Chain A
Amino acid sequence: MSKRQVAMVFDLNKCLGCQTCTIACKRLWTREEGMDYMWWATVNTQPGRGTPRDWEQSGGGFKDGVAQAGKLPTRQDFGDAWKFNHEEVFFEGKGQSAHLQVVGEQPEWGPNWDEDQGAGEYPNAYYFYLPRICNHCTHPACLEACPRKAIVKREEDGIVLIDEDRCRGYRFCMEACPYKKIYFNHVKKVSQKCIFCFPRVEQGVAPACARMCPGRVRFVGYKDDQNGPIWKLVEKYKVAIPLHPEFGTEPNVFYVPPVAPPRYDAEGNIDESKPRIPDEYLVSLFGPKVLDALAILKAEMAKTRAGGKSEMLDVLIAYQWKSMFGGLDRDPATIEWTKS
């Protein structure tokens, strides 16, 4: 056990599916050759096959404390990295005979391939956005699976890191991680994943995906900080719950579940007898506690709808944006790097 644990809460009712988190991470960390197909932060439309494709059915994690076999996702499952033929289209004298496309074989999957598709039947279709990063688990399957002991969980903040000097690219961690959030760098021959922006956290700055999120979805902080948003949302109000708790790794990313609009009956009138997003589906993602969390959230929303106050919703509103970061709210522009 680490002494302290940083964590995040993602409010799915505020997630816009805009992928600013995805891009923020990409631009900061995964732009080099070998990393070009990596998206440490992803957002997928649920229900959907996700990133990597069908990750929920890929095994790994623990069952009753016993490590489970898992599949090794391929580059194609992650969606690979596409190169385009701009020069050919614009400058090589081919007129309208060349149009912009992926060079080589045309892709059949990408990191956000099933965006906005969802499930159900019109008008009772349903979908929502599910952002994911490495869960920096309290019981990381990747760490246990690594024969090189190259994966560490930091004492001071519980961030799980792959030591790239020790890693030999065996990829047991990729098989073991039930969330499939580890990628293989085929140039450096090491496994790589979300680092919870540790260089930023070290300077008191929130991770880029959180600080750059225009939807103000991502709360950050130490789990034991009773003044911070994580403790309040997870422990006090119990409105945020982990993804696939049955994977047994004790994730440290928590989700406020989505409250969808009501569904319709055959005549087109509102049908309150069951929710638009089937309970079974939410339970399949977040476990049975999701129904309690939803009930808590709906009760608070009913309060404010009736003109009342809700401390819990005030936290989720985040009147002051900086309040979302549990003290990791330093403005990076105030940092000056010394050059000598």
Chain B
Amino acid sequence: MAAGISRRKFLVGAAAGATIVAIAYWRLRPVERGAPAAAPTPTTQAPPAYGDWRDVYRERWAWDRIVKSTHFVNCWYQSHCAWNVYVKDGVVWREEQVAAYPQVRDDVPDFNPRGCQKGACFSERMYDPARLRYPMKRAGERGSGKWQRISWEEALTGIADSVLDTITKEGSDRVVWDLGPLYTMGTFGAAHQRFSFLLDCTSLDMNTEIGDGHRGVGETFGKIVFERSADDYFFSDLILIWGGNPIATQIPNAHFLLEARYKGAQIVTIAPDLSPSSIHADLWVPVKPGCDAALGLSMANVILGEKLYDAAFLREQTDLPLLVREDTRRYLRSSDLREGGSEEELYLHDPKRGIVPVPKKELRLGDLEPSLEGRFEVGLADGRKVAVRPVFELLRERVAAYAPEQATAQCGTPPEMIRSLARRIAKAKSACTVTTSNFGKYYHGNLTERAMALVLALGGQYGKKGSGFVGFPFLVQDGLEKTTFQSFDLPDRLKILASMLPKRLELQLEGYTEEMLVYERSRNMYQSGMATSGALFWYVHGGLLKASEKLEEWDPYLKRPVKDVLAESFEKGWQHVWPKPGNDPRVLFVYGSNPLRRIRCYPLLLENLWPKLNTIVTLDWRMTSTGQFSDYVLPVSAWYERTEHKWVTPLMPFIHAGEKATTYYEAKSDWEIISLLAQAVHRRAGERGITGFTDRFGKSRQFGDLYDRFSQHGEFGPTDDEKVARTLLENASNLEGVSWDELKKTGFARFTSVGSSIVSIGNATTIEPNDTITPLTKHVIEKEPYPTLSRRMQFYLDQDLYLEMDEALPIHKDPPIAGGNYPLMLTGGHTRWSIHSAWRDDALMLQQQRGVPVMYMSIEDAGARGITDGETVKVFNDLASFQVMAKTTPAVRPGQLILYHAWENFQFAGGKGFQNLIPSPLNPVELAGGQFHLRPMSICMQPSHTDRDTRVEVARA
């Protein structure tokens, strides 16, 4: 049986046990809901011979054909994995990893096989009862569960009419897109961008809202995107798993960590609980939840006190030598020294040359040796003399309050442990952190991230292989912007170019790097409202601000009501939101997202936002908590039913692609759905005699050529997904030599550079074909300035709100008691069992849990309340309550509760999801703006939502 076994031989006849395959097919074949199950289609082949029972198994493994695919969902840190999808009789039968990634270096393990249990059962999930099969319109109240099946044409016509009504009568910005984890930046990105540009809709930028904003990273580095490749850990000798749980949430990457441990790296996990990522560590350091900043600042205290810091690194790469005025606590600026001086020119002191401007065009210091210590007098433009000191000195004063013996009370880590960790970080050859999007979910998470970035900087731990604190991982083919731009007619394109070029040249002369220019463009686009802060949208239009009203009782550091800060921020233009406050949103497109599950304190949305909305459309492949409360649900093709490619992260620097393996009922790809919607708007405008509308900037636009422009004059029709995918790839600069035809055969291809996308350029590194990827080398090795006000890693922030809140330098603040004065802290984390909510209600995944949501609770806290393992408990605070099963364990820190991510509301009794009591108070410092790198842009420096500080009590239900 060299190349194969005879299929006939293994097909099953009528012998005993032979119905197995038939049963299997019968169960898998999509069946009309409510209709009796159909028998399998009879095969025309002659009944095969049945050898013995073993042939049943041999046949079960066999397949008709293999299609490459992946799961086009936002797995983020663990995205993506190339899968072979095995198809039998037109039905997806199972999947198995392609596992053909090349070994990048001989001395580094390869990426194979990748994948996880969720991916390995999507072939089951895609046929389960949560799937949407055809367009439906609600037939009762929102949320009633009463549905009417309608045709695509009816659905699109109804939705198009609502869009037209809103755009023409109230304003196009009131048509809002909420984009979720299905957003690919591939064919869907192309469709959505065209539609939104042409109809001037608003899209919610949800990155900070979901708590992935990495604000502390943005405050320090001027950007949030930078991460290593997972195999780069192999060069670390100290890996700090700090703010993450990669063993459970980066399943395909985790082996690199554990293999690095075998190679000699020490793994230290810093976490409140004995998490799955703690059990494989060489050291687990318990810390109080939300108090990591105190630990970080205490380590800084030790490193400074014992003079273990890398002074040369600090002088060149950080703002620590920069001078700050003692009187105003602000940086010394050129505008202080002379009339008309710049607000963005800062100073340092050199022993030979005195007080001189900070070099802005590169980090190289030449013959300068900036003072880290000292107090200097300087004459201001108005003749006064003031004292200035380097940030380093202020930092030393700040961390003086965090001697290990003092900090231990704040962070719960013993003093000797703090000392020993600090020394290890300072002395390691190459120390790095595994820090995921955890701290952004804490109210004071930015302070923690700043403290962590600081500790690694003091040790000079950046830019070397296997070193560094990390930001947010993101790596995308950069063809989308170009493709959307190409879809504009030539005169429009020329107009845009003409308006942009002079400014670009001016900034280049000022020393702006390519990265800074990209961010300026991002800020301009953000300002125009194409994307707006999701967090502010829900706070303002969704009524979430109500839940922050008690913040004065919860946050002892607060100086004034947060709504006053919000008003100031809007007035000064630091932050803004579309639609403008008072302009109620009318149409909400929920694309692969799930705001009623996702948004903390979601009942406020139902109360405040839902009544304002005329039309709510959910586009998804499955029913969701939000779909239940929508007016229309439209079935989108699931992942093996589409031709697409998708972004990844540097952790796994291969683009992934897939081809349509099968179809499902009336589900359509999102490219097709949005194409048809554009057609429907076009058609209905004509039928209703509506010629055009005025966009939010007062410009008039026409409906007459809407679909022509959408389709690029017929170039890209509704079913041209593959052509769109191909074009995106052709327009990408960072996948040199990768052709679509090859990609769809292999399923993956390695990126050749980080490219120019807003969400990738921050990696600031090169991608070599035969090496691992280390971020920030452009800054650390090539000396390119950071995109911050100071052009350095910036630990001192002198914007008004930071000074008001005493956060100019990182500080530890106790977490607020969000939700009221209750003894237990309800925290969470991503789950091993689902990617967001996509697998939360999957039967196989639930069977490997307890079938219902669980909350991990310490044995001590459970015992004190008479609660036993497996019992249903009531969790409550000032806002609301919910019921959940308690799971008791000594691995959880007393005082902490852990409820992992993304249970659907419909999995809780009464539909009361656990997020209903999470108030997510708005942290006023996040309303800052105005200063160079504190201005909002795509995916960062916008306010966020938080959940980890929620206080509750638990009782037997």
Contact = CB atoms under 8 A, between A and B. Distances in A.
Nearest to A188: B17
A120 interface: yes
A12 B497 CA distance: 58
A279 interface: no
Interface stretch (B57-65, B329-337, B439-447, B720-728): B57-65
A32 interface: yes
A327 interface: no
Interface string A149-176: 0000000000001011100000000000
A26 B117 CA distance: 10
A321 B99 contact: yes
B870 interface: yes
A125 B891 CA distance: 5
Contact of B53 (A86, A165, A304, A305): A165
Contacts of B904: 100
A20 interface: yes
Contacts of B281: 261
Contact of B888 (A117, A212, A268): A117
B606 to A, nearest CB: 11
A304 B248 contact: no
B251 A16 contact: yes
B891 A27 contact: no
B890 A110 contact: no
Given A27-B120, A118-B889, A123-B286, A165 B16 contact: yes
Contacts of A33: 23, 27
A106 interface: yes
B4 A18 contact: no
A288 interface: no
Given A24-B120, A86-B841, A122 B858 contact: yes
A43 to B, nearest CB: 9
Contact of A14 (B5, B258, B894): B258
A68 interface: no
Interface in B45-71: 52-54, 56-58, 60-64, 66
Interface in A94-131: 94-102, 106-108, 110-113, 115-123, 125-128
Nearest to B58: A199
A294 interface: no
B851 A102 contact: yes
Nearest to B234: A317
B380 interface: no
A87 interface: yes
A108 B832 CA distance: 22
B247 A320 contact: no
Nearest to A124: B890
B414 A16 contact: no
A17 interface: yes
A121 to B, nearest CB: 5
A199 B10 CA distance: 11
Interface stretch (A1-9, A243-251, A331-339): A331-339
A101 B903 CA distance: 13
Interface in A179-225: 188, 190, 195, 197-200, 202-203, 208, 211-216
Contact of B252 (A84, A214, A306): A214
B247 A17 contact: yes
B930 interface: no
A94 to B, nearest CB: 5
A233 B96 CA distance: 27
A107 B851 contact: yes
A199 B57 contact: yes
A275 interface: no
Contacts of B860: 122
B846 A84 contact: yes
B893 A122 contact: yes
Contact of B17 (A89, A165, A198): A165
Contacts of A113: 850
A310 B261 CA distance: 12
Nearest to A123: B286
Contact of B843 (A82, A165, A212, A333): A82
Contacts of B906: 89-90, 96, 99-100
Given A32-B20, A106-B851, A338-B6, A18 B251 contact: yes
B274 A317 contact: no
B255 A110 contact: no
Interface string B90-131: 000011111110010011111011111100110110001110
Nearest to A211: B113
A208 B909 CA distance: 38
Residue with the greatest number of chain B CB neighbours at <10 A, chosen from A214, A267, A270: A214
A58 interface: no
Contact of B248 (A17, A319, A337): A17
Contacts of B109: 216, 317-321
A274 interface: no
A316 interface: yes
Contact of A164 (B53, B123, B247): B53
B634 to A, nearest CB: 15
Given A101-B851, A321-B109, A333-B66, A198 B54 contact: yes
B769 interface: no
A269 interface: yes
Residue with the greatest number of chain A CB neighbours at <10 A, chosen from B4, B98, B143, B888: B4
B750 interface: no
B117 A23 contact: yes
A90 B132 CA distance: 10
A313 interface: yes
Interface in A291-340: 301, 304-308, 310, 313, 316-322, 331-333, 335-340
Contact of A82 (B17, B117, B851): B851
B400 interface: no
A195 B57 CA distance: 9
B52 A320 contact: no
Contacts of B286: 123, 268
Contacts of A123: 274, 284, 286, 893
Contacts of A83: 843
Interface stretch (B262-270, B818-826, B932-940): B262-270
Nearest to B131: A86
Contact of B847 (A110, A120, A126, A313): A110
Contacts of B488: none
A23 B120 contact: yes
Contacts of A216: 109, 113, 255, 259
A265 B477 CA distance: 51
A147 interface: no
Contacts of B116: 18, 20, 214
Interface in B853-877: 856, 858-860, 869-870
Contact of A18 (B103, B259, B832): B832
B401 interface: no
B890 A165 contact: no
B140 interface: yes
A20 B845 CA distance: 11
A264 B179 CA distance: 46
B483 interface: no
Contact of A110 (B129, B623, B848): B848
A64 interface: no
Given A23-B120, A267-B414, A215 B255 contact: yes
Contact of B129 (A86, A98, A305): A86
Given A99-B907, A211-B96, A214-B116, 8 more contacts: A20-B117, A82-B846, A82-B847, A84-B851, A91-B147, A94-B145, A100-B904, A123-B284
The 8 A-B residue pairs whose C-beta atoms are closest, nearest first, are A96-B911, A304-B264, A268-B414, A321-B112, A86-B129, A125-B890, A164-B53, A23-B117
28 contacts: A13-B261, A18-B117, A19-B848, A23-B121, A26-B844, A28-B94, A32-B23, A89-B145, A90-B145, A91-B33, A95-B143, A95-B144, A99-B911, A111-B848, A118-B889, A122-B890, A122-B891, A127-B274, A164-B17, A164-B53, A199-B60, A212-B120, A261-B284, A270-B417, A301-B264, A319-B103, A337-B62, A338-B4
